[in-house]
Amino acid sequence: MKKIGIINSEISEVISKLGHTDTVVICDSGLPIPDHVRRIDLALKQGVPSLLETLSTVLEEMEVEAAFVADEMEWASPRFQQELEAVMQGIPVRTVSHEQLKKLTHEAKAVIRTGEFTPYANIVLQAGVIF
């Protein structure tokens, strides 16, 4: 049994295989996930697990150089956006349209679906390097 870190085997595997600039998406319960992209479905019920809890856990193991969120988050979920930026701890968060964010999911190595019910609560994480 794994002793530390992420114990979800699928998430642990995806992170361990990432190369520089590869992406992983953490999404709310409603984001469409392309059929050809690996889906890791954690959603149990409304709010469980939350996107921010999932993001915090992933950031413990994944080196992230940049992230992308939807422009619409600013007006639709401003409090959530502030909480998300606090979790990101200085990692640059860029905005794109929600339509562009959905297009970015097509290139992701995986999409992690949470039980989040907050509008536009989706984030694309771009892998960095540790050297």
Average pLDDT for 74-100: 97
Task: Give the total number of structural domains in the chain.
Answer: 1
Task: Provide the annotated active-site residues.
Answer: 20
122 is in an annotated binding site: yes
Q: Is residue 69 part of a domain?
A: yes
- Taking the whole predicted model, whether its pTM rises above 0.95 is answered as yes
Q: How confident is the model at residue 1 (pLDDT cuts 50, 70, 90)?
A: confident
Judge whether 99 lies within some domain: yes
Which long-range contacts does 78-85 make (Cβ < 8 Å, 24+ apart)?
80/52, 80/118, 80/121, 83/52, 84/51, 84/52, 84/55, 84/121, 84/123
The answer to whether 121 is annotated as binding is yes
Q: What is the CATH number of the domain that holds 123?
A: 3.40.1650.10
pLDDT 10s digits, 38-59: 999 999 999 999 999 999 999 9
Domain membership flag for residue 3: no
Does the annotation flag 120 for ligand binding?
yes
Boundaries of domain holding 47: 20-127
Residue 32 clears pLDDT 90, i.e. is over it: yes
Residue 107 confidence (pLDDT) = 98
